[in-house]
Structure 1
Amino acid sequence: MQSPLRHGKAALGTTIATGALAALSQAPDRASRLLRHRYPTVAVTGMTGVGKTRLADRLSRRASTQAAADAGQDVGSAVMERRTRRNARLRGYRFRVVPGENAATRLGALDEVFHDEPVDGVLHVVAHGHATPRRTGGTSGTALASREEQLAAELEDWSITAHRIASMAVRRERPTWLVIAVTKADLFADDIDAAVHYYSPGSGSAFGDKLDELRALAGGAKLSIDVLPVCAQGGGKKSALPDRTATELLGRLELRLAQLSGHV
């Protein structure tokens, strides 16, 4: 017959082992929650030619030489690119730059960031009709497109992304945030306020109406929307948008991302 002391030790050992197994089983979930809290995932979306990768490079403080080399490319990436921003407090972001080209890789990237591994926030990049025109595959020469054509293409691109955002937002309990980054502000430096108004909810513009539709589908209380002008690279002191002003605009965007992510 087993003694009470030995029986108690066996029971204690079983309890400890059970607790250890439970802790181990919960460890991946806890680690995942901690990672998402400290390094939320941000989808960077927008049509080709608006400067998504260059903006992600600036936000992630990527090496300037590599960023400059990428900026010189005249074609957008056909695959999803990843950037990570880290700071001394062990906080930052994991950026997922979705290809702008209407290709199978883009649709796969959209599925990944909005369905398979839903992101914590969305940074949608627009250029107020000043996106760099891209040549179609297999053609040579300079691509041409009017500002009106670029605005129309931008709106069509947004319709696809907005549908994915709404689908993601209705499936989750916590709010989703969206920041519209109006980039290339140096090309419309005297008209920045009007550009921000065009991309704002309730503005009555074509883009504003699309945002109102999105909020109605996703639930206004679950989707916060900010519109901020930005310029990845400014010019000299006498330029329309000096580098100092561009840095200030980028700083405002960084601050808002930090606020939305709970970093400040």
Structure 2
Amino acid sequence: MQSPLRHGRAALGTTIATGALAALSQAPERASRLFRHRFPTVAVTGMTGVGKTRLADRLSRRASAEGTQDVGSAVMERRTRRDPRMRGYRFRVVPGENAATRLGALDEVFHDEPVDGVLHVVAYGHATPRRTAGTSGAGAATREEQLAAELEDWSITAHRIAGMAVRRDRPTWLVIAVTKADLFADDIDAAVDYYSPGSGSPFADKLDELRALAGGAKLSIDVLPVCAQGGGRKSSMPEKAATELLNRLELRLAQLSGHV
């Protein structure tokens, strides 16, 4: 017959072993949560020609290849930003072209592996027009046509964001980055107002609908102007001013991600 002491030791050993196995089984999940906290995933969305890749390159401190800022990409691109404190972001740049790869990328960032936040890039009607397939030379489109295309693109993205937000038990954040600010440097306040909830613009109405669907308390929305590349001191957007706008965007991303 086993003595009470031996029985106690056996029970203690079983408890310790069970606890150790439980800790080991939870270790990957804890590591994953820690990594996600330090490196949240950010979907960079927007129609083709608004400069998503260029902006993601600046935010990730990656040099853009010459001539690529107006080309666009048909596949999802990935960028990672790391700082000395081992914090940063994992950017997922969703293609702007209406192709199967774009729909697959949207499914990935909003359904398969839901992102922590969304950086939606717009250009106040100044997106670089794309030429028609099979033709050469620069594309052509009026500002009104570009704003209409931008709104159509946003409707698709907003639907995906709403679907993701209602499945989450934690807030999701959205930053509208109004890029190419150098092209409307004297009209930045009007541009920001156009994209701000409650302003009554067609884009603002879509944002209000999104907040109603997703739940206003679960979805924070910021609108910030940005310029991925400034010019000389006498230009409409000197590099110093462009850097200040980029710094404001980076600070807000850090606040939303809990980095500061």
Q: Distance in 2 between matches of 1:147 and 1:48?
A: 14
Contact 2:120 2:176 in 1 (8 A): yes
C-alpha deviation, 1:73, in angstroms: 5.5
Q: Shift in Å at residue 125 of structure 1?
A: 0.1
**Mean alpha-carbon deviation: is it higher for 14-23 or for 160-169?**
14-23
Cα deviation, 1:66-100, whole Å, max 9, x if unaligned, reads x133x535421111111111111111111110000
2:173 to 169, 174, 177: 177
Note the C-alpha offset of 1:133.
1.0
Match of 1:88 among 67, 84, 88: 84
2:253 is the counterpart of 1:261: no
Query: For residues 195 and 222 of structure 1, what CA distance do their matches in structure 2 show?
Result: 25
Aligned counterparts of 2:158 and 2:111: Cα–Cα separation in 1: 13
Q: How does 1:130-169 map to 2 (within 5 A)?
A: 130-169=126-165
CA distance in 2, matches of 1:216, 1:184: 29
Q: Are 2:44 and 2:91, in contact at CA under 8 Å, matched by a contact in 1?
A: yes
Other-structure match for 1:128: 124
Q: Which residue of 1 aligns with 2:39?
A: 39
Structure 1 distance, partners of 2:92, 2:251, is 19
Q: Which residue of 1 aligns with 2:217?
A: 221
Contact 2:176 2:221 in 1 (8 A): yes
CA distance in 1: counterparts of 2:46 and 2:215, whole angstroms: 22
- Per the normalisation by structure 1, the TM-score is 0.95
| Cα offset, 1:211, TM superposition | 0.6
Q: Distance in 1 between matches of 2:78 and 2:68?
A: 19
Structure 1 position 7, deviation (Å)? 3.2
Q: Does 1:242 align with 2:238?
A: yes
Aligned counterparts of 1:54 and 1:21: Cα–Cα separation in 2: 47
Question: What displacement does 1:38 show?
Answer: 0.8
Q: What's the RMSD between the two structures over aligned residues?
A: 1.3
Paired position in structure 2 for 1:48: 48
Native 8 Å contact 2:53 2:93 kept in 1 = yes
Tell me, what secondary structure is at the counterpart of 1:110?
helix
Pick the aligned partner of 2:103 from 103, 107, 115.
107
Moved more, 189-198 or 9-18: 9-18
Contact 2:53 2:69 in 1 (8 A): no
Q: Displacement of 1:5 after TM fit?
A: 3.9
- C-alpha distance in structure 1 between counterparts of 2:69 and 2:237, whole Å: 23
Name the SS for the 1:34 alignment partner: helix
Structure 1 counterpart of 2:65: 68
For residues 200-215 of structure 1, the aligned pairs below 5 Å read: 200-215=196-211
User: Distance in 1 between the 2:59 and 2:76 partners?
Assistant: 17
- 1:56 and 1:14 map into 2 onto residues whose CA distance is 52
Tell me the secondary structure at the aligned position of residue 226 of structure 1. Answer: strand
Q: CA-to-partner distance for each residue in 1:211-250, whole Å, 9 max, x for gaps?
A: 1111111111111110000000000000001000000000
Q: Return the letter of the residue paired with 2:134.
A: G
Partner of 1:57: 57
Please give the alpha-carbon distance, in whole angstroms, between the structure 1 residues aligned to 2:70 and 2:193. Answer: 30
One-letter amino acid of the counterpart of residue 72, structure 1 = T
1:196 and 1:74 map into 2 onto residues whose CA distance is 23
Paired residue secondary structure (2:65): helix
User: For residue 25 of structure 2, what is the aligned residue in structure 1?
Assistant: 25
Tell me the SS of whatever aligns to 1:132.
Answer: coil
Identity of aligned residues (%): 88
**Do the aligned partners of 2:42 and 2:119 also contact (CA within 8 Å) in 1?**
yes
> 2:14 corresponds to which residue?
14
Letter in 2 for 1:166: A
Is the Cα–Cα contact under 8 Å of residues 195 and 201 in structure 2 kept in the other structure? yes
C-alpha distance in structure 1 between counterparts of 2:133 and 2:112, whole Å? 29
Superposed displacement of residue 47, structure 1: 0.3
Matched with 1:2 is 2
